[in-house]
């Protein structure tokens, strides 16, 4: 199933959860490259993004598989997700929390995407 967006480019103003994405076949138990792109922000805000896993699409556990460090700026950020210790995971989804402080509109504003691909597909693209 991968490469695929865990979260297509989306504008968010509050906490939320992305769609469930099936891993399909050989990605289960492999290593994934997660690419977070933040393309729009306003000042004095933060976002926390995590990736959750599920074996059945309904129980997402108590803790995320991986979390990006808190972000404050536009940019592209990558992180590896090693699923070898989570071989039962068949579904992934993104979850985010946002915060805003200071003057102006109290609602945060982010436009972002989260893309997942296998390390094998990344190597093939570079060859």
Beta-bridge partner residues of 40: 111
Contact 11, 53 (CB under 8 A): no
Q: Which two tokens stand for residue 11?
A: 């504008």
Show me where the domains of the chain are located: 4-126
pLDDT value for 87: 87
pLDDT value for 123: 46
Model pTM?
0.89
Assign 126 a pLDDT band (cuts: 50, 70, 90).
low
pLDDT digit string, tens, across residues 26-65: 667 789 999 999 999 999 999 999 999 999 999 999 999 9
The C-alpha atoms of residue 116 and residue 15 are separated, in whole angstroms, by 21
Q: Residue 124 pLDDT > 50, yes or no? A: no
Which one of 1.10.150.120, 3.20.20.10, 2.60.120.1110, 3.50.50.60 gives the CATH number of domain 4-126?
Answer: 2.60.120.1110
Average pLDDT, the chain: 91
Contact 118, 13 (CB under 8 A): no
- Average pLDDT of span 69-95: 95
Q: Residue 94 pLDDT > 60, yes or no? A: yes
Place of tokens 């989804």: 93
The C-alpha atoms of residue 123 and residue 3 are separated, in whole angstroms, by 12
């Amino acid at each position: 199933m991968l490469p695929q967006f865990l979260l297509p480019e989306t504008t968010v103003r509050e906490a939320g959860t992305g769609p469930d994405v099936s891993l399909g076949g050989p990605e289960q138990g492999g290593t994934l490259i997660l690419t977070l792109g933040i393309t729009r922000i306003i000042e004095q805000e933060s976002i926390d993004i995590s990736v959750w896993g599920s074996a059945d699409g309904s129980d997402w556990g108590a803790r995320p598989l991986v979390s990006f460090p808190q972000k404050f700026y536009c940019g592209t950020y990558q992180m590896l997700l090693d699923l070898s210790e989570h071989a039962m995971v068949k579904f992934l989804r993104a979850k985010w929390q946002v915060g805003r402080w200071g003057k102006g509109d109290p609602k945060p504003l982010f436009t972002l995407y989260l893309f997942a691909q296998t390390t094998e597909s990344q190597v093939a693209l570079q060859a």
